[in-house]
Amino acid sequence: MGTSWSVRLCPPPGADRVVIQSAIQNELDRIIGLFSHWDPRSEVSRFNAAPEGLYAVSPEFWAFLEACLDLADQTDGAVDPTLGALVNLWGFGPPGPRPHDDFYGGPSTPGEDEIDEARKVSSWNRLRLSLKTQAVTQMGGMRLDFSGLAKGYAVDQVSQRLSDDGIHAHLVEIGGELRGANVRPDGYPWWVEIAAAPGLNAPRTVAALFDMAAATSGDDVRFWQNSLGRYSHTLNGRTGRPIDNGMVSVTVFDPSALRADGMATALTVMGPDLGPAYAEALQIPAQFIWRNEDGSLSDRVTPAWAAMQEEGTSES
């Protein structure tokens, strides 16, 4: 997945640390073999490279894709697993960065024709599925990209694997996405700090993850810029372009890390006006940080987030 992972756990008596670590790594390797578009041998990469046609997929791939499309439907495409062609075009995918252009003093910005062509093979509502055979239609050139969802799924799967192996108290972190299960032997929950955006004048937030996940979507790590502007890796499928709504980060709590991951991405795409309204309507615990036109930062939390702070999240 191109990222790091860590697990804190309370193993049962007699458990072998090497065996536990191997089981976790095997689980991650299995998920990479399904959903990583950076691995040319993965199931998603084979689908992306396939010619037009109907292709049967594995049961786990099918179930995951259905979950992704459910999120796309719920958010009206604000999170979309079919934007791989656009991700590649903007230089954030496996083909690598955009070519350098001396005139623009950095990577070249895609032209309108290029964006239009990539949009023709993107959008979740263009994906055709055969429910009877659990097969997916490759329309030719469509690229599935699970970057905004696979880390959360991996967190859930590793957490479930640990629980199945009798390790019920644990904290799983993959690329900044977290899930805490049960409580520590001392009776305290798994406390995690929600990173604040640099320059935001606000107290730090510490959350207790008790059978709860946290995911953050932000633009401070993966981006590039030239003389025309700054381009985030988070894309708006409706425009075919990186978001330019000022969002710096969105953090979401949910029992499912997959759902937290997807919703954080979707709310980032929605922006500082629609995002909070959507989250409040669905009672999603979320924190929004955005950049104003004068460069200052503002933040806002939903009532569900505030309620969680009162129950088990502290600020200091």
| Mean pLDDT value across residues 287-310 | 92
Between 131 and 199, residue with greater pLDDT: 131
Q: Where are the domains of the chain?
A: 183-315
Between the alpha carbon of residue 211 and those of residues 52, 156, 172, 178, 256, the distances in Å are 42, 11, 11, 11, 9
Distance CA 35, CA 42 (A): 6
**138 pLDDT more than 60:** yes
Q: Please name the amino acid found at residue 7.
A: V
Is the pLDDT at 47 greater than 90? The verdict is: yes
How far from chain centre, in Å, is Cα 83?
A: 13
* pLDDT tens track for 53-91: 999 999 999 999 999 999 999 999 999 999 999 999 999
Measured in degrees and rounded to the nearest 5, phi and psi for residue 249 equal -160, 155
Chain segment 226-280, per-residue pLDDT in tens: 999 999 999 999 999 999 999 999 999 999 999 999 999 999 999 999 999 999 9
Coil, strand, or helix at residue 286? strand
The predicted structure's pLDDT at residue 2: 64
Closest of 263, 255, 292, 265 to residue 280, by C-alpha: 263
Percent of the chain past pLDDT 70, that is, above it, reads 95
Give the global pTM: 0.93
Instruction: Pick 204 or 254 by higher pLDDT.
Output: 254
CATH of domain 183-315: 3.10.520.10
Give one word for 166, left, alpha or beta, with left for phi > 0 and alpha for psi -120 to 50.
Answer: left
